[in-house]
Amino acid sequence: MGRQAENGHERTPVRLTRRGRIVVFGFLLALTGGLVALVSAPGQAADPPGPAPTVIVQPGDTLWDIATQTKGREGRDATVEEIRRLNNLTGYDIDAGQRLLLPRRR
C-alpha cells in the first residue's frame, strides 16, 4: 500500500516524461546561460551627460604624461591606449596644440 495523503487518497510519486525532462533541462540551460551572461558582461555604467573631457597638448607633453595626469600611475598604460582609441591615433606621437579627447573618469 502507498503513502496515504491527509484526505485518505493514495499519493503517487510525480514522474516526468521524456518531454518533461527535456523541458526542465532546457529551462535550466537557459537560466544558466542567462546567469553566465550577467556575470561575464562588463559592468560599464553609462557615460555621464555633457561633453567629453579634453586637453590641449603642451610642448613636451607625451601620451604617458597626459594619462598620468588623467588617471594617475595606476592604469596609465590602459589610459594611453584609451586616449589613442578615442582620438584615432595610429602611433604614440602627439603635437603641441593638438586637442585630445580624454576618457571619462569613473
Which pLDDT belongs to residue 9?
73
- Gap between the Cα atoms of 74 and 68, Å rounded: 8
- Within this chain, do residues 31 and 63 fall inside the same structural domain, yes or no? no
Which pLDDT belongs to residue 51?
82
Which pLDDT belongs to residue 50?
75
The CB-side HSE value for 80 (13 A sphere, CA atoms) comes to 16
- Within this chain, do residues 61 and 92 fall inside the same structural domain, yes or no? yes
Helix pair 63-71, 76-86: axis angle to 10 deg: 110
**Number of folded domains that form the chain:** 2
- Enclosing domain of residue 77: 54-101
- Gap between the Cα atoms of 30 and 22, Å rounded: 12
- Within this chain, do residues 62 and 31 fall inside the same structural domain, yes or no? no
And the C-alpha cell for 23? 523541458
Residue 67 belongs to a domain: yes
Which pLDDT belongs to residue 48?
62
- Within this chain, do residues 68 and 95 fall inside the same structural domain, yes or no? yes
Residue 48 belongs to a domain: no
Residue by residue, pLDDT tens for the chain (106 residues) are 555 666 667 888 888 899 999 999 999 999 998 888 877 766 656 656 778 889 999 999 999 999 998 887 788 889 999 999 999 999 999 999 999 999 887 5
Which pLDDT belongs to residue 11?
80
